Amino acid sequence: MNAPYAAYASEELIVRDHLAIDRTELANERTLLAYARTALAMLIAGASAIHFVGGGTGIASGSTLIAAAAWTTWFGSRRWLAMRRALARLRA
C-alpha cells in the first residue's frame, strides 16, 4: 500500500504542514467522540426500549439498537486507529 505522502520526507514538511497534521489529529479525535456519543445514545435507546416497551417488539428493537451501538463503537475505533497510524507515518 502506497502512502499518499510517501514522496515527502518529514524534513521537507514546513510549519504549515505540521499545523495541518495537528488539525487533522484533532478532527480525528472529534470524530471518535462523535462515534462514541452516537453509540452511547443507541445503547441507552436500546436499553430503554427493552425496559419500557417490553414484549417482542421492545426486545427486538432494543437488541438491534444495542448491537448497532457495539458495531458503531467497533467501526469508529477502527477508523480512528487507521487515521492515527496514517498521521503517525507522516510525522515519522
Report d(CA 86, CA 27) in Å as an integer. Answer: 14
| C-alpha cell belonging to residue 25 | 489529529
Q: What is the pLDDT of residue 64?
A: 96
Report d(CA 62, CA 5) in Å as an integer. Answer: 44
Question: Is residue 62 a contact partner of residue 46, using CB atoms and an 8 Å limit?
Answer: yes
Report d(CA 19, CA 5) in Å as an integer. Answer: 16
Average pLDDT value for residue range 12-27: 84
pTM higher than 0.85 = no
| pLDDT one-digit tens code per residue, 21-48 | 889 899 999 999 999 999 999 999 999 9
- Helix/strand number for the chain, H first, E second: 2, 0
